Amino acid sequence: MKTSNKLYRTSPIQSQYHAQDELGQYSFGYAGGPAARSETRDAFGIVRGSYNYVDSDGKIQTQHYVADALGFRVSGTNLPVAPDAPAAAPLAALPGPLPEPVQDTPEVAAAKTAFRIAYDEAAAAAAAAPDARK
- In tens, the pLDDT along 102-132 reads 999 999 999 999 999 999 999 999 888 877 5
* Confidence grade of residue 10 (pLDDT, cut at 50, 70, 90): low
53-67, 92-106, 107-121: range with lowest mean pLDDT: 92-106
**How do the domains of the chain map onto residue ranges?**
15-76
CA dihedral 18, 24, 25, 30 (to 10 degrees): 30
Give dist(CA 15, CA 36) in Å, integer. 9
